Amino acid sequence: MRSITIFFAVDDNYVHLLKVALDSLIRNASKEYKYRIIILNSELSFESKKYIRKNCKAKHFNISFFDVSGQMETLAQKVNVRDYYTMTTYFRLILPKTFIDVKKAIYLDADIVVRGDISEMFNYDLGTNLVGAVPDRSVAEFPEFAEYTESALEIKKENYFNAGILLMNLERMRKEKFEERIIDLTKKVSFCVAQDQDLLNVICKDRVLILPYEWNVMPLGEKVADPKIIHYNLLFKPWKQDLVMYEDIFWSEAGKAGVAETLLEYKNSITDEMKEINAHALENVKALCLRERERHEYYREGIADTKSKTERAEILEKIKKFELEGRFSEDVENDPPYIPLRPGDVDYMRRKVRSKFNAFVANKYSFSYFKRKVRKGEIVIDGYEGLEKLKDLKTGAVITANHFNPFDSIPLHIAAKKMCRKRKLFKVIREGNYTFPGIYGYFMRNCNTLPLASNIYLMKEMVSATEKLLKKGNLVLVYPEQSMWWNYRKPKPLKNGAFRFATDAGVPVLPTFITMRDTDKTDPDGYPIQAYTLHILDPIYPDKTVASGKAVQLMKEENERVWKELYENTYGKELRYDGE
């Protein structure tokens, strides 16, 4: 029999409400499953635990209590906590790292009534989404909430979810270092409106399975005929005030759970002063939303910084996955869409006056631009080995290099400018890179680049131009791995293209390889800036005594051999593709 794990988070003040929630959940749950109910708490009293155990017994249900005091004390030191929110609301944030045996679970606030079969909610397929959730009705109903959500958090109001009822992909969250991402975000942004809920929405943005509204119906807006879960959130709580939508259902369920009289006594004990405070609470939150909306730049900057770190972490995980699966020629980063090049779009030989002028300006400016980055420590070069092999070339050559960063060609450009003043260095690039916007796009179009093309006629033009440039004594940089994996230190299996260019033009391949080390400085994503050493290895000449296809294969195998040898000697370990 399959098991379903469900988490609640309570303190002593919510024990009777938890009884209502559990009683309604148990009565409506399918008998085809076992249910593991875990009550997250911080120093919940012995009497409260005894009360729940005694009054919530049912076949197929196992109820246990988990004191999260230690985990929450550690988390509280790392996140900003608003004084009018208890730490109970943060319990859901520690679930992935604390319950490593649970792959998927439901999290429920205690201020609910369950009227549907909870197993139906559990069985939604999350795929790679982090959570399944329902859009927060309060954002749809109150313009102030919507303006804050869309302006400060940059989340469309229809996508901002309520975090009181969640289907959680704990396995995926662990893989993506969910808790670390939460902590990192709180260091950049102090959320003031709905702190933990805002955190979850920002971290899970675009990774949310939107569940039917019936699974988190709030006492707002139009009445729902057949709600599966009613969530009495915000100030809309029948045990505190009158005229709350669905209050008849709540009191009916409270009666079945045997706690209606206790909750009515509590309601009658609320002082006029407390009622006055509650009456103004919603307006105060609305005013807070409007104030924080004006600080949208503060939120956006912090969120963007954290997002880039998150994306980089996901890329590193993807690299490990692709390595283990042998998918070496696939990129791990998604290129933006681009318009394919057509015949006439590229002047490969720089025959036009405008092309020559743009190439002169772009090469001069780009060299100065990247030299400044070196001086500022944004690009760190430890040194060069084998420069004499570049200088001693008597003919044109195809230069092969490992590809791990958009700027990894800079050391080679510097070396070529120093050692080969009478030769030009050209670079084979992807079709989409040729149409990049901004300054880098300008460099890509004009700094002696040879874009590949999906158009067969333009591709023939590119191949012909490359052969002519090589025969004229120029250097052409090709990345034979085909893919770029960020800061990946291992050499990957090679494709034939670079060696075909060399064989057809009758010129050598000059293998180069950059090794790296971590510096003590970090990049904008929080990762160590790499220091590069450019290794220039012995040229590899095509064997003219064999067929061209065989010559291509022999050159490729030799390039792979010398790269492997250099890697193992530099890093002191065997080259293995084991995800480490």
Q: How many CB atoms lie within 10 A of CB 222?
A: 7
C-alpha 29/C-alpha 26 separation (Å) is 5
**Six token digits for residue 510:** 């000059």
pLDDT above 70: residue 526: no
Judged on CB neighbours under 10 Å (0-12, 13-18, 19+), 145 is buried
Q: How many CB atoms lie within 10 A of CB 84?
A: 7
* Spatial CA neighbour of 297 closest among 484, 154, 459: 154
Torsion sign over Cα 192, 197, 202, 205: negative
Q: What local confidence, expressed as pLDDT, does residue 307 receive?
A: 62
Q: In what order do the strands lie in the sheet containing 425-429?
A: 380-385, 528-536, 509-522, 397-400, 475-478, 425-429, 449-451
* pLDDT score at 85: 41
Calculate mean pLDDT across residues 335-346: 81
Long-range contacts of 314-319 (CB under 8 A, 24+ apart): 314/176, 315/486, 316/486, 317/175, 317/176, 319/485, 319/486, 319/488
Position 74 scores a pLDDT of: 63
Q: Which two tokens stand for residue 530?
A: 């790499």
- State residue 176's pLDDT score: 78
| pLDDT score of 76 more than 70 | no
Tokens of 375: 């001086």
What the block records as the tokens of 233 is 């959130």
Under CATH, domain 350-571 is a member of which superfamily? Glycerol-3-phosphate (1)-acyltransferase (3.40.1130.10)
Which positions ≥6 away from 211 have C-beta within 8 Å?
A: 121, 124, 132, 133, 134, 167
| pLDDT tier at 77, thresholds 50, 70, 90 | low
Query: DSSP string covering 396-458, please?
Result: -EEEE----STTTTHHHHHHHHHH-TTS-EEEEE-TGGGG--HHHHHHHHHSSEEE--SSHHH
Q: Please report the DSSP string for 247-259 in residue order.
A: HHHHHHHHHHHT-
pLDDT tens-digit map of 363-421: 888 878 888 888 888 889 999 999 999 989 999 999 999 999 888 999 998 898 888 87
In the block, residue with structure tokens 């002191």: 572
To which residue do tokens 């675009």 refer? Answer: 206
Lowest mean pLDDT segment, chosen from 8-17, 192-201, 236-245, 254-263: 192-201
| Whole-angstrom Cα Rg for the chain | 31
The domain ranges of the chain are: 3-235+277-312, 350-571
42 versus 231: the higher-pLDDT residue is: 231
β-pair type (449-451, 528-536) = unpaired
Please determine, for residue 68, whether its predicted confidence score (pLDDT) is greater than 70: yes
Decide if 452 contacts 374 (C-beta within 8 A). Answer: no
CATH of region 3-235+277-312, choose from 3.40.50.10470, 3.90.550.10, 2.60.40.1180, 3.40.50.2300: 3.90.550.10
> Would you mind telling me the total number of residues written for the chain in this entry?
580
Across 208-225, average pLDDT? 93
> Measuring CA to CA, which residue among 79, 101, 83, 103 is closest to residue 91?
79
Closest by CA position to 315, among listed 67, 483, 114: 483
Structure tokens at 424: 């030009």
Three-class secondary structure of residue 114 per DSSP: strand
Residue pLDDT, tens place only, 454-463? 999 999 999 9
436/444 Cα distance (integer angstroms): 7
Check whether 60 has a pLDDT greater than 80: yes
Amino acid identity at 148:
Y
CB 502 within 8 A of CB 465: no
Query: What is the mean pLDDT of the segment spanning 158-184?
Result: 87
273 compared with 228, residue with greater pLDDT? 228
pLDDT over threshold 80, residue 89:
no
Supply the pLDDT for residue 92. Answer: 78
Cα gap 89→375, rounded to integer Å: 48
Confidence band, pLDDT 50/70/90 cuts, at residue 83: very low
Query: Quick one: residue 67, left, alpha or beta (phi over 0 = left, psi -120 to 50 = alpha)?
Result: beta
User: pLDDT confidence of 84, banded at 50, 70, 90?
Assistant: very low
Q: So what's the pLDDT on residue 278?
A: 73
What pLDDT score does 525 carry? 63
What does the alpha-carbon distance between residue 109 and residue 138 come to, in Å, rounded to a whole number?
A: 16
